Structure 1
Amino acid sequence: MPRGLQADTVGPVDVAVIAFEGNRFDGRIVPALRELQLNETVRILDLAFVSKARDSSVAVLELSDPGVAETLRQVTDVQFDLLSDEDLRTVSDSLTQESSALVVAWENTWAARLSAAVRGSEGELVMLERVPREAVLEAISALDDH
């Protein structure tokens, strides 16, 4: 098992797909991901970069690839093969020509203690929903109007 991961204490895991039109990934989000990991907000478990060329050919870089860009390795020291070939194929199928995506699987380490407490109290998470950004902005705007 990767360093620091324990089955009974692992927090919830999310997968995010961050798309870049025109293959304009420049790495500027990497420091933000690194900071989240250093602050123990998340632990990056797996990471891949998928790009689709004008001719629809697809290239995939994964942490496990010997020639992977140093930029991606800066984000994590854990190699936990969570993203499957099928997952990455699904991402590549959704990309338009000349676009790319960073696919990141992270453990929400900030929630691990709460998750353990829920399990320890024999509770069960029955619903979790992310509120869309636009809905939050509308609510903020409504508050500002009063």
Structure 2
Amino acid sequence: MDAPELKSQQNAAESRLQSQQALYLASKATYDRLLQTSKTPGTISSNDLEQAYAKQQSDLAQLKAARAASNEVTDTREYLVIRAPFSGIITARNVSAGAIVGPSGKGSELPIFSLVEQKKLRLVVSVPDAYSIKLEK
């Protein structure tokens, strides 16, 4: 199944994720440089170092939120894929591509398709008693 609005949401979420990654990497680099420079006494005030660290942590939190939003859209798109609990062959397709389907009575009385597992078939046959002794068990 396809949902174009989810595709655009995923593209937007990935863009935000990349933007947040860039912001985090920049603030981390700034903090690391300030930390290295602060090892020389009198070069960087402790307040500037604390602000850079707070900015880095804020950008990290926003990066995690953007990653979670991106994962949420990806997980939602996974609901559009129909997976069978077993491998098999579609034997009957009752709807065409683009058709609107819904619950019974509101879109279709028939299932979307029928899937049959052909590895294991059960055959029920009536055998007269006269021939039953010739059957192998």
**Structure 1-normalised TM-score?**
0.18
Higher-Rg member (1/2): 2
Higher helix share: 2
Higher relative contact order (CA 8 A, sep 6+): 1
